[in-house]
Amino acid sequence: MLHDLLGVDNVEIKAVCDLVPEKVEHAQKAVTDAGQAKPAGFSKGELDFKNLNQLDLDIVYIATPWNWHVPMAVDAMKNGKHAASEVPAATTLEECWDLVNTSEATRKHCVILENCCYGSSEMMVLGMVRDGFFGEITHAEGAYLHDLRGILTANESEGLWRRFPHMQRNGNLYPTHGLGPVAHYMDINRGDRFDYLVSVSSAEASLSAYVKTKFPEGDPKRAEKYVCGDMNTSIIKTAKGRSILLQHDVVNPRPYSRLNSISGTKGAFADYPPRVFQDGQKDEDWQQIEAFREKYEHPLWKSTGELARKMGGHGGMDYVMNYRLMDCLKRGLPPDIDVYDAAAWSTPTPLSEKSVAGNGAPQKFPDFTRDGWKNRSSSMLFAG
């Protein structure tokens, strides 16, 4: 994130905060190496972020473990800053409402940094959807299928915290990478909204087997009891009657996929690899999406794609997201993804957990927009 932001014109990094002083120093050096003044550093304990929030800042980026996202975002907004939170923005319904209520009360944006919405294919497909290429969209699929066993059990970084929810919760722990792009295609919170969800988890097996294979007798990880099923499958029904398949599996060995597919009355898109099908085409094979790039590549990818790919983060989508968010702030435009999206896209975690515990019983989504979804217009991603 820091690397990307240092590459955007007219963005100054004024402060950095981390529990680990060496990480703060490392970040400060990256900023001075980029020719900016040394930012203030905060590393005096878990609540030192509150001191950072006393400075004169426009926006605070939050890329900490999940349990810190909401306390940090709420404190930033209450101190007059916009908040941008890593994914998921929140992990309980109460936390989702805290974000919505605080953003409304303070009139500060609360953005979820869902980089997958800014992938080259995702933005092309969004353009095709808005152009009517797929007709009326009735179904979509999203997922986070990513073998994280090594990361979850490492003795550093996410291995220090991200495995613990697997011992406490059985459901979809990481819904937004799959759901964000699909919510954009379907204009969720802007003409449609998530209505209810049903969810089922498979048995747990893979993480337990992995720690027994990888760690020697006596290692405490071998005694850990994981309750989160390997594969969680949810189905969301929207207010307009559309369906979304949403899956989560971070422990089985398999190639990466976010599914990322849609189908409508005139055609379909499926990812991994990205491909499209049009009603009436001569044969039954998928067409490569490349055939449509010239017409549908998003203007942001046309203008920043080369630099984005060089910056690298997740194939360039991190840079496009950060560039776009900074551009919106500088020009006073509303961000593409707002607090209602942050809350709705994060909500499958608590709802899937409840549905799984109730043998797949349907769970209603709160309407975080308080009926506003009926009249809110599409994000301005194509408005320049």
121 binds ligand NAD (CB under 6 A): no
The residues in 307-346 that bind ligand NAD, with binding defined as CB under 6 A, are: 314
For the chain, the C-alpha Rg in angstroms (whole number) is 21
> Long-range contacts of range 296-303, CB-CB < 8 Å, 24 or more positions apart?
296/124, 296/127, 296/128, 296/131, 296/133, 297/120, 297/123, 297/124, 298/120, 298/123, 298/124, 298/126, 298/127, 298/381, 298/382, 299/382, 299/384, 300/118, 300/123, 300/324, 300/381, 301/120, 301/123, 301/124
Binding residue for ligand NAD, selected from 27, 39, 41, 49, defined by CB under 6 A? 49
Nearest CB to ligand NAD, comparing residues 155 and 375: 155
Nearest CB to ligand NAD, comparing residues 24 and 198: 24
Binding residue for ligand NAD, selected from 21, 32, 44, 46, defined by CB under 6 A? 46
Residue range at the interface with ligand NAD (CB under 6 A); choices 11-19, 163-171, 234-242, 271-279: 11-19
Closest to 226 in 3D by CA, of 240, 212, 236? 212
Residue range at the interface with ligand NAD (CB under 6 A); choices 60-68, 266-274, 284-292, 327-335: 60-68
Alpha carbon distances (Å) from 21 to 28, 44, 67, 299, 322:
10, 8, 21, 40, 25
362: Cβ contacts below 8 Å, ≥ 6 apart: 196, 197, 198, 355
Calculate the CA 363 to chain-centre distance.
22
Residue range at the interface with ligand NAD (CB under 6 A); choices 57-65, 221-229, 246-254, 265-273: 57-65
Binding mask 156-185 for ligand NAD (x = CB under 6 A): -xx---------------------------
Residue range at the interface with ligand NAD (CB under 6 A); choices 64-72, 89-97, 134-142, 206-214: 64-72
Residues making up the chain, counted from first to last: 384
65 binds ligand NAD (CB under 6 A): yes
Nearest CB to ligand NAD, comparing residues 134 and 174: 174
Binding residue for ligand NAD, selected from 28, 115, 120, 206, defined by CB under 6 A? 115
Nearest CB to ligand NAD, comparing residues 53 and 64: 64
12 binds ligand NAD (CB under 6 A): no
Place of tokens 């402060």: 15
Place of tokens 């095709």: 128
Binding mask 74-113 for ligand NAD (x = CB under 6 A): ------------xx--------------------------
Q: What are phi and psi of 242, to 5 degrees?
A: -85, 160
* Site residues, ligand NAD (CB under 6 A): 17-20, 23, 46, 49, 63-66, 68, 86-87, 115, 157-158, 314
